[in-house]
Homo-oligomer: A and B are copies of this chain.
């Protein structure tokens, strides 16, 4: 198994420029062997890639791409904070919020867009616990929001 940073290259994935926080908080906080990201929106180059209610204004496949973008942003922030993704021991937990149209109940399929990225990049260490829920509204009308807890190798 390659390192996560090597896997990124093999997969041809380039992490985005970490998006700026849109309010009075920071993207990542470390405490002990844990680091936790703020909730990430599907921002790319300063604009949201996917807005609207999933199940009405966009499909679950489109929303899964949004979730993947959220996860890429989380990883971009973690890389900047830690220096390298190779310092991540384990993806511990992923919290996924899907802006859902009434009657849409396939949030797990949507959040798989984020989860699958973690497996692609981190392999076994990417297997995480997860909460996936629907909500009626998200910031900026984003389709998805994802936050991530990781553990870090001891120095």
Contact = CB atoms under 8 A, between A and B. Distances in A.
Interface of A: 22-29, 31-34, 36-39, 90, 92-95, 97-98, 100, 102-109, 111-112, 115-116, 119, 127-142, 145, 147, 149, 151
**Most central of A32, A135, A136, A142 by chain B CB within 10 Å:** A136
Contact of A105 (B25, B94, B131, B138): B138
Contacts of A104: 137
A107 B133 CA distance: 15
Contacts of A136: 100, 102, 134-136
A31 to B, nearest CB: 4
B25 A129 contact: yes
